[in-house]
Amino acid sequence: MKQYAYFPGCSLEKMGLSYHMSAMETTQRLGVELHELEDWNCCGATAYFHVNGDLALALNARNLAMAEKQNLDVVCPCSGCYKNMSSVRAELQADVHAAGRINSALEADNLHFTGKSAVRHLVEVLVEDVGLDEIKSRMTHPLAGMKIAAYYGCQMVRPKKDSEDVEQPTFFEELMATTGADPIDFPLRLRCCGGSLIISSRQPALSLVHDLLQNAVDHGATVIATACPMCQINLECYQRQVNEVFGTKFSVPVLYFTQLMGLAMGVAPKRLGIGSEFVSPKPVLAFCDRPSAA
């Protein structure tokens, strides 16, 4: 059993609850033990970085320091939280002065940061620590024939600077392939969904969402698989607005990758939080055979 400190992040509490549910269902079946980080606080999203650098550092350092106390690495299902915590960890390890300032603030909450706890994305943990072969062996209900557009988004992959992999990663498609479905060629898979711009700069964000939906449809996607609640919400909950503005007729299911994995593992849709979408997931469920549980 591999153990980790689980950092759900604010979105998974309600907006992205189905991500949390399906993450629990799948990790339990894969030998991954996720212990929710006690008393975790918000990672600051992008807003904190817009307002004050040190506050953003402190916010994330508190979470990291608490994980250190438990001697566990942190797993983030949300790409935004993942990016914030891993880059803050890197920054504090590289900048002795910043670490000094932040640690003196953390003292007020009896915490101390050293950087001992690594920060992992849920996708990373499944691919690297569990392994694709092991995952494939658990897929008792393969989603044969389903076309998945594996959407990486931005912050799961960037700003790490490993030029060659950053521009052409394949791990997310490989993970989706374990479900028995076909990950399709999805050229815009690394392009931004707009993130919080859906609120603060509506027009550009809707244009980005439109481009992604169009690209997925053009390449025959049954469903878009996401690894971040912001991406999921932008791509799914705003399809109506996109259709209004661009005159399109999109109705593309957008699910969390853990929901798709869960279906392939034979987990009942309800347990995976399926049913709370704006866009009906019927096209996806049509690929689910329900033989007797293996």
Interaction with another protein in 149-188: which residues (CB under 8 A)? 154-155, 158-161, 163-164, 166-168, 187-188
197 near another protein, rule: CB under 8 A: yes
46 near another protein, rule: CB under 8 A: yes
Least gap, CB of 288 to another protein (angstroms): 21
For the segment 58-87, give every residue that binds another protein (CB under 8 A).
58-59, 62
Complex with another protein: residue 144 or 166, whichever CB lies closer? 166
28-36, 120-128, 138-146, 208-216 -> range binding another protein (CB under 8 A): 208-216
217 near another protein, rule: CB under 8 A: no
192 near another protein, rule: CB under 8 A: yes
Complex with another protein: residue 223 or 242, whichever CB lies closer? 242
For residues 172 and 126, the answer to whether their CB atoms sit within 8 Å is no
115 contacts: CB under 8 Å, gap ≥ 6: 64, 89, 92, 93
* End-to-end CA gap in the chain: 22
27-35, 52-60, 113-121, 252-260 -> range binding another protein (CB under 8 A): 52-60
With CB under 8 A as the rule, give the number of residues binding another protein.
Answer: 82
7 near another protein, rule: CB under 8 A: no
Least gap, CB of 212 to another protein (angstroms): 10
Query: For 3, phi and psi rounded to 5 degrees?
Result: -110, 140
140 near another protein, rule: CB under 8 A: no
Least gap, CB of 269 to another protein (angstroms): 14
Complex with another protein: residue 169 or 180, whichever CB lies closer? 169
200 near another protein, rule: CB under 8 A: yes
145 near another protein, rule: CB under 8 A: no
Q: At what angle do helices 202-218 and 229-237 cross, to 10 degrees?
A: 80
For the segment 232-251, give every residue that binds another protein (CB under 8 A).
237-238, 240-241, 244
Instruction: List the x/- string, 93-122, binding to another protein by CB under 8 A.
Output: -xx-xx--xx-xxxxxxxx-----------
Q: Applying CB under 8 A, which of residues 2, 277, 283, 285 lies at the interface with another protein?
A: 277
